[in-house]
């Protein structure tokens, strides 16, 4: 049995689906604050909160072989405004989970981490050896959990694979699961909702020293991310050691380039009015994914156009239903 915390959320639910496709039995632990029961099919759901250690006892009846951990708050801007929320949930909640698993003898763990731990890029593309200097509490909270795992690996032989995402985006290619946050703070869904007329859209980036003055990011399709988690799990189950991998395409696109692509798909001209500035965000980041390709045998399949079209189709379907 594979435990997936936060498995009813955006990336977690796609990964549950990918695990099931590979024949794994899954139990999801989620407080449903940001998760959606309707995203889950044919797996047990245990409703609980990692900030309450006693809630984890609800899992005692399951024979857990490994854990994939997605339960975290992920908004950079919110973390700057309310760091306490992020350290309580992302750090203390994660520690409660890791310690519970260690005490139960479960020693295989995959962490959903982030490129935000790198901070501003000293060089591009960014590899796993880039210095770690997060510029916001969200990134710092993930780095703190990475450090906890490093010490648990040394002291208890608690094996972990850390997956540092760049920008997750898109929806399942079969149209069944998509990105649904409340509030929604991510560029692609916000712009799509603006194009569909269901939400006011304003650009929220800080002006930075890039080719068009807008931040550059590496957008990776959520199904490619899910596939990487399956490969990481298989590596641990086959005796692999603790390790860390970047997950990105190796290509950077600016905010304004993303807007242009969404306009092509939606055939709607979006406003260029600048809204609230987003604090704590680096100017340009895109990944070196050589290590993941070589050691996990992972190859992202989906293009930027497929990312945006899959997201647009899912939001359009949700709007019509």
Q: How many CA atoms lie within 13 A of 269 on its CB side?
A: 2
- CB burial of 157-169 (b: ≥16 within 10 Å; e: otherwise) equals ebbbbbbbbbbbb
Query: In DSSP terms, which residues pair with 274 in a beta bridge?
Result: 203
Task: Round to whole Å and give the CA distance between 250 and 229.
Answer: 18
How far CA 90 is from CA of 2, 120, 147, in Å, comes to: 21, 22, 13
Task: Round to whole Å and give the CA distance between 311 and 169.
Answer: 8
- For residue 302, which phi and psi values (nearest 5 degrees)? -95, 140
Closest by CA to 227, choosing from 276, 281, 173, 185, is: 173
Q: Is 100 marked active-site?
A: no
Closest by CA to 307, choosing from 273, 267, 262, 272, is: 262
Task: Round to whole Å and give the CA distance between 297 and 269.
Answer: 40
Among 118, 138, 219, 253, which one carries the catalytic annotation? Answer: 138
Answer yes or no: are the C-beta atoms of 34 and 181 closer than 8 Å. yes
Closest by CA to 215, choosing from 226, 207, 223, is: 207
Apex 250 CA angle, 243 and 140, nearest 5: 50
How far CA 284 is from CA of 120, 187, 304, in Å, comes to: 7, 15, 17
Answer yes or no: are the C-beta atoms of 59 and 3 closer than 8 Å. yes
Give the active site residues. Answer: 138
């Amino acid at each position: 049995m594979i435990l997936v915390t936060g498995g009813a959320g955006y990336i977690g639910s796609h990964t549950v689906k990918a695990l099931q496709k590979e024949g794994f039995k899954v139990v999801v632990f989620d407080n449903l604050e940001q998760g959606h029961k309707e995203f889950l099919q044919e797996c047990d759901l245990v409703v609980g909160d990692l900030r309450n250690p006693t809630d984890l006892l609800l899992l005692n009846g399951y024979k857990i072989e490994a854990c994939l951990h997605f339960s975290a708050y992920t908004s950079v801007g919110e973390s700057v405004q309310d760091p306490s929320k992020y350290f309580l949930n992302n750090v203390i909640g994660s520690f409660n989970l890791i310690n519970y698993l260690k005490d139960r003898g479960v020693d295989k763990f995959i962490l959903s981490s982030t490129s935000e731990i790198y901070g501003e890029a000293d060089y591009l593309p960014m590899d796993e050896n880039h210095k770690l200097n997060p510029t916001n509490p969200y990134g710092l909270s993930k780095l703190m959990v990475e450090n906890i795992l490093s010490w648990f690996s040394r002291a208890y032989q608690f094996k972990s694979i850390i997956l540092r995402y760049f920008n997750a985006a898109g929806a399942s290619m079969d149209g069944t699961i998509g990105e649904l946050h409340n509030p929604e703070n991510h560029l692609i869904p916000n712009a799509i909702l603006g194009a569909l007329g269901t939400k006011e859209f304003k650009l929220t980036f800080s002006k930075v020293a890039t080719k068009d003055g807008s931040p550059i990011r590496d957008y990776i399709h959520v199904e490619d991310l899910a596939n990487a988690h399956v490969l990481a799990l298989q590596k641990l189950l086959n005796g692999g050691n603790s390790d860390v991998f970047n997950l990105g395409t190796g290509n950077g696109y600016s905010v304004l380039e993303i807007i242009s692509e969404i306009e092509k798909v939606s055939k709607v001209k979006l406003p260029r009015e600048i809204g609230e500035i987003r604090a704590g965000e680096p100017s340009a980041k895109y990944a070196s994914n050589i290590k993941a390709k070589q050691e996990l045998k992972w190859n992202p399949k989906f293009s930027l156009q497929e990312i945006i079209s899959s997201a647009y189709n899912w939001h359009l379907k949700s709007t019509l239903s």
